[in-house]
Amino acid sequence: MNRNRYSYLKKIPHLGQRIIKTGIAVFICLVIYWLRGFQGLVTQSTVAAIICIQPYRNDSIQTSLNRIIGTLLGAGWAVLFLETLVLLQKHDIRPNIILVYIMMGLGVILTLYSTVVIKKTDAASLAAIVFICIVAVYPDYEMPFVTTLNRIIDTVIGIVVAAFVNSLSLPRRKHKEYLFFIRAQYLVPDRFSHAPSNVLVILNRLYEEGAKVCLVSKWVPAFMIEQMGIMNVNVPVIVMDGAALYDIPNHQYIHVLPMEKTTARFLREFIKEMGLCYAAGSVRARSLMVYRGGKINEAEKLEYELMKYSSHRNYIEGEFTDEDQICYIRIIDTDDKIEELEQRLSTLLSKNLFRMVKRSQHRLEGYSGLYFYNPQATVERGQVALARYIEEKENIEIIPVDMTDKDEYVSENEAIVLLNKVRSIYEPVYLPWKS
């Protein structure tokens, strides 16, 4: 088991394959335009290529077929529109230009709605672009079918070029020995929020490609599962700030580092004497039991209402027993009460009886949380425990993925940049002559 040199990742975004492929596709469209003797509309083919380039090769063929269908659909409505105008002119009827523009707007609506009807919404934008590019020449047109055919040819050129470029990729080598650790707080705003869909798409792609990505959470598994939804996770996750490892697919804890029973009982009685509400998380068999004591306050009520139906935790009114493995004890209350409790317990920290962490509470202004763990229960120790668990089958190299200047969620874009950098480390371009 090794500690890797990638202890952090630089913040500058890397040059992704999609950007490079888009530039190559546009270049090829321009060359084809030159080879055709500058015949056709090069903007049509290049726009189609830009729209159709996908970040993943597996999406290319299906997307290309969908967009060819969308092109034909947009062109079909355009021909109908222009032929209608030709028919009106044959009867010496020349519509007011505003009326024509209204008809164009309705044509865009019909084109987009048609993609919904035939369940090809992936092609909606291109279909609308093809439609408007053809009809926008009004009144400077002569032969609607010829005009439309030329537009179709140029658009299909762009789609085919995009499909071809998407099918190509530089040789890559997967580092299956790498074990990445990413804090969940980098990917999702707070424990009550859901991760953005684009973030989940990239994360699941990493799992599908075989990358070992361990998510690290301050909270219990129920929060992570709610935040991330259905994941193709292939390694256990670190939960409760390092106090346990949880195997999501098998719904079981594979490693727990509980508090000493005497310490847990002492904290419980101390908190009760101060008249505060507390929660104690205990792992028993495959489940997390959350014991609650004291009069419930606004903060505790919010969490209880959100999580009481979760299948990954059970709330119990009453005191924990000697058979329980207490992973954490938590108090959420007003800032002044938490500060008082923190000061009264700070003198005990030197005795190394517990690890105490203070956290602000999202969505609850004026409330803080105080969390107690086994002093040995840390994220770093959880990383080592997981590496040892996996290393029974293969060699593992630990790669913590940290933000350089932030320790919390910044934005969806930052989360995507972080995951893309993980992918570039896991599956870098492989050049044989440099190996």
Q: Last residue of some domain: 108, 132, 167?
A: 167
Q: Comparing C-alpha atoms, which of 96, 78, 92, 98 is closest to residue 143?
A: 78
Given a contact cutoff of 8 angstroms between Cβ atoms, the answer to whether 295 and 333 are in contact is no
More confident residue, 123 or 267: 267
**pLDDT tens per residue, range 289-304:** 889 888 887 777 777 7
More confident residue, 137 or 411: 411
Answer whether residue 362 is part of any domain.
yes
Task: Identify the CATH number of the domain in which residue 272 sits.
Answer: 3.30.1240.10
Residue 291 structural domain: 261-373
Task: Identify the CATH number of the domain in which residue 409 sits.
Answer: 3.40.50.1000
Answer whether residue 3 is part of any domain.
no
pLDDT at 143: 67
pTM over 0.75: no
What are 328's strand-pairing partners? 281
pLDDT at 8: 46
pLDDT at 311: 66
Residue type, 89: Q
Looking at the structure, do residues 92 and 200 belong to the same domain, yes or no?
Answer: no
CA distance 53 to 32: 17
pLDDT at 20: 83
Looking at the structure, do residues 86 and 149 belong to the same domain, yes or no?
Answer: yes
Answer whether residue 88 is part of any domain.
yes
**pLDDT tens per residue, range 321-376:** 888 999 999 999 999 999 999 888 888 777 788 999 998 887 778 889 999 999 99
Count structural domains, the chain: 3
Mean pLDDT of 179-187: 90
Answer whether residue 24 is part of any domain.
yes
**pLDDT tens per residue, range 140-166:** 666 667 777 887 888 889 989 988 888
Mean pLDDT of 68-88: 85
Answer whether residue 225 is part of any domain.
yes
Answer whether residue 7 is part of any domain.
no
CA distance 82 to 105: 14
pLDDT bracket for residue 88 (50, 70, 90): confident
**pLDDT tens per residue, range 241-261:** 999 999 988 888 999 999 999
Looking at the structure, do residues 27 and 140 belong to the same domain, yes or no?
Answer: yes
Q: Last residue of some domain: 167, 190, 208?
A: 167
Answer whether residue 172 is part of any domain.
no
Looking at the structure, do residues 427 and 328 belong to the same domain, yes or no?
Answer: no
Percent of the chain with pLDDT over 70: 88
Looking at the structure, do residues 275 and 360 belong to the same domain, yes or no?
Answer: yes
Answer whether residue 11 is part of any domain.
no
State both tokens at 212: 């070992």
Q: Last residue of some domain: 135, 167, 199?
A: 167
pLDDT at 66: 79
CA distance 137 to 134: 6
Looking at the structure, do residues 23 and 122 belong to the same domain, yes or no?
Answer: yes
Query: For residue 211, how many C-alpha atoms fall within 13 Å in the half-sphere facing its CB?
Result: 25
Q: Tell me 214's DSSP state.
A: E
Q: From the centroid of its chain, how far is CA 35?
A: 42
pLDDT at 392: 64
